Amino acid sequence: MPTSERIAIAAHLHVLLRRKLGRITDTEWMASNDEYARCIVRLCHEQADADLRLWADRLDAHYAAERGRRRPEPSPVPAPAPDALLSSAQAIEQRYIGRLR
């Protein structure tokens, strides 16, 4: 499903949630963030409204299809040692204070 369809579904859900529940949502974020979309879908399924559930299912189906196509996430980069962070923070602070004088 193209991105324009995902935005259209998110916009429709936004209008329904505003009219029926008085909820304000972020349409663009719903169309681009899987976690936010899942929360909206859960909210819609908690309601007894058939329209909300129908549109929530459409959004969920889109993201489910997209999750199936995603590549595995790369392994995380190891975090630097705390001493290295401290020394770099001190160096930045010294440069900043030095520039103020």
Q: CA-to-CA distance for 57 and 62, rounded, in angstroms?
A: 9
∠ at Cα 67 (29, 58), nearest 5°?
65
pTM of the model: 0.63
State residue 37's pLDDT score: 92
- Polymer length in residues for the chain: 101
State residue 64's pLDDT score: 84
State residue 63's pLDDT score: 86
Q: How many other CB atoms are found less than 10 A from the CB of residue 49?
A: 16
Helix (H, G, I), strand (E, B) or coil at 16: helix
Task: Per-residue pLDDT tens, the chain, 101 aa: give them.
Answer: 568 888 999 999 999 999 998 989 999 999 988 899 999 999 999 988 889 999 999 999 988 887 776 555 555 655 555 555 556 666 666 655 555 54
